[in-house]
Chain A
Amino acid sequence: MPNGCDFMSQIVSKDIFTPEDLNEEQKMLAQTVEKFMKEEVLAREQEIEEGNHEVVKDLLKKAGELGFFAIEVPQEYGGLGLDKISALVVNEMMMYNTSFAVSSEAHITIGSHPIIFFGNEAQKRKYLPDLAYAKKIAAYALTEPQAGSDALNAKTTATPLNGGEYFVLNGTKQFITNAGFADIFVVFAKVNGKDFTAFIVEREFGVKTGKEEKKMGQKGSSTRQLILEDVKVPKENILGEIGKGHKVALNTLNLGRMRLGGSAGGGGKILTKIALDYAKDRKQFGKPIISFPLIKWKIANMASKTFAIQSSSYRITNLIDQKWLGEKVDEWQAFEEFAVEATILKVGGSEFLWHIVDEAVQIHGGYGYLREYKVENAYRDERVNRIYEGTNEINRLNIPEMILRRAMRGRIDFFGWVQRAQKNLDSPDEIKKQIAEYSAKEELFALEIAKALLLTESQKVFSKFGEEIQNEQEILAAFSDILIGIFLGESAIARATKHKDKPYGRYYENMARFVVHTYWPKIVQSFEIMLLRAGLRLELAEKLYRTLPRIDVVELSREIADTTAEVL
């Protein structure tokens, strides 16, 4: 059975789950959602982008009737109780309109999952059947005006009344998606000003909301303050235990990060198609601009990054399914197990999507700057992905922190991994033998060396700084950047390997190679940051630099672009 962080000490399996492995039902779910998005949501896109939240609310209700939000609700509570891969494919398709997607995510992913994960029987019976079909809409209220990244430092209070029969909530929650029309809020507050606790708060208990925020993007989603002034909540609505609110908050975010990273794959695919169609159509100097090499480079970059995100998101999501369905652990525990991978996917996915949307605008030239073109709006909408579900900075710190905490608690055998890594570095031919059958094996070899070096060198760095390492945020971020590159790159290679005998095997291999080669300088630079800061020998980084054979990436990009133009 798979465990979290396994990838740090193992060669990626040739049999990871990939988008090509979807079953018939999963493909049909995707098709229905795609059809709905194109016919119902895109038809009303103008109103959505003008900030008409009623339209989004109507569409959420319609999508709810069709069962879009029932996927993850257990069958006992009226849902479909499907696996997480099914949720991912639906999630990807929703990215045809990001305002709709983010409203959906706020409702089902972070709004309803606290109840799915931690609700008691009565709470599940009461709320889930309505949430599954969007008869009621949910929202998640953690952030406060002065407590953003420092979310557990909330000021909202819950004061017991009548010997604890009721709790009176007071405080303000900030940036609450769906606040304009949500019926049910999962609110975090401190009981007696100290015990951080989650509550299920119905709108009818008397909550107020602030004005609609005027945002840079995601204009169709409703974002307001949630204002709690003496709101009386019965004790039956405590979610989980008093004082255990962080468990609800953080585990919901583990899922949220997974989904945000996963949706980037859907967004990348849609944007690549839009940019490609434009590049085929737009003529300059007497020919379509897709025939110019610098445009080809952009298409190759977009297609390859999308490929890497999807390879990673399907890989982890399936590992979570294996863990959850195979080992019969609680769902939230499966997400917690893979929290490091989810965080990698969140940061890597959102930043790859940022590069993708930027290329999409650039391919459109001046037209990409006009509101009339979808890429303009996509460009603004994308920006927030690097901010919410934990800023990418906080998440970059979280990755090594989670790993170190697991090492200290003995959940992972970090020192054993370091020793094995040293052995690998001493006899690299052993690695070469093991990966002989892989696609893009030279690139995989370089990533394996980087992986081993990250373990041996970071151990030196961590022991040098001790507790002080938390003040060396740049080192921690560099550590994360290396790991992100390794994970996205090896996932792409594994997917290419799995399908190497298919007609598209070479195309996949090309994209996997392109991703590794274009990310590689960042890996090398991140090693330099770590090693120089810690006063360690730089030769290792220089040696690493030469591990990846230098190839003609231009040839690669042209071929990827030509194939993309044919198949997409």
Chain B
Amino acid sequence: MKILVPIKRTHDPYSKIKLKPDGSGIDTSNIKFVINPFDEIAVEEALRKKEKHGGEVVILSIGTQEAVEQIRTALAMGADRGILVDTAGKTLDQDSIARIMVKIIGEEKPDLVIMGKQAIDDDSNQVGQLLSEYLNWPQATFASKVDIQDKKATVVREVDGGLETVEVDLPAIITTDLRLNQPRYASLPGIMKAKQKPLKVVKLDELGVDITPKVVVEKLETPPERKAGIKVKDVDELIAKLKEMKALPF
């Protein structure tokens, strides 16, 4: 079974984010970058499925040359080879990303695409679903358990108030939720092996995908800083204050 795992280079969730002064994006100087944590879960799931069913795990990233670092990390975890679509720094919206992936998937013909449900930087949660639409493949999003048998995937999804189990025919798109698995560490021998593994770089222009954005980020803002609270003597004063602030519906 061939599994394709698209991964995104994002900031480390533990690092403090600063915006560029003009609000056009995140200030990336002095920030650590990692594989988007949801995508890392996807890498882990793909590796487990490969260990069980055999086959190949291919990593795809769309971004600048720097994303090679994240592809290598996935290879160090155990993936077999990597593909980078080098965007040379062009800004792409989610729709363009999905259509670029369609091209690569057309060439690679995987049996399964597993990816994070969203990236922690823009939280857009769209690419998996768009991909399913463009490829006309079934989708199982927000997976918290994945079983594969006889060209079918049984996926448990976390939905409001409970769990939903769906069955999809392969090839399919699965997007991962937080509780699917605990990703392994890239072992030190794995890191040393990763540099021998094939990594193909494709130039974005060569794919001939129209990347005119449908969505443009106008501006990013940090939430307003929380103001200091006040102390009240008793419940009566509390209610009076809340009324004063018009924070009560009555």
A residues within 8 Å of B by Cβ?
Answer: 24-25, 27-29, 31-32, 35-36, 38, 65-68, 70-71, 80, 82, 90, 566-568
Contacts and interface: CB of A to CB of B under 8 A. Distances in A.
B134 interface: no
A5 B30 CA distance: 37
Given A25-B195, A28-B72, A28-B76, A66 B188 contact: yes
B130 interface: no
Contacts of A80: 188-189, 192
A28 B30 contact: no
A131 B80 CA distance: 29
A36 B189 CA distance: 15
Given A32-B188, A90-B188, 19 more contacts: A24-B72, A24-B195, A25-B192, A25-B194, A27-B69, A28-B76, A28-B186, A28-B194, A29-B191, A31-B73, A32-B76, A32-B185, A38-B14, A66-B188, A67-B188, A67-B189, A68-B188, A80-B188, A80-B189
A241 B176 CA distance: 59
B187 interface: yes
Per DSSP, chain A at the interface is helix
Contacts of A65: 187
Nearest to A68: B188
28 contacts: A24-B69, A24-B195, A25-B195, A27-B69, A28-B69, A28-B76, A28-B186, A28-B191, A29-B188, A29-B191, A32-B186, A32-B187, A32-B188, A32-B191, A35-B185, A36-B185, A38-B14, A65-B187, A66-B188, A67-B187, A68-B188, A70-B189, A80-B188, A80-B189, A90-B188, A566-B30, A567-B30, A568-B30
Contacts of A66: 185, 187-188
Q: Which of A29, A31, A35, A568 has most chain B Cβ within 10 Å?
A: A31
A363 to B, nearest CB: 19
A70 B194 CA distance: 16
Contacts of A566: 30
A66 B184 CA distance: 10
Contacts of B190: 67
A90 B72 CA distance: 18
Query: Which of B14, B72, B76, B188: most chain A Cβ within 10 A?
Result: B188
Contacts of B69: 24, 27-28
A36 B190 CA distance: 15
A35 to B, nearest CB: 6
A334 B191 CA distance: 27
Contacts of B73: 28, 31
A185 to B, nearest CB: 26
Nearest to A566: B30
B185 A25 contact: no
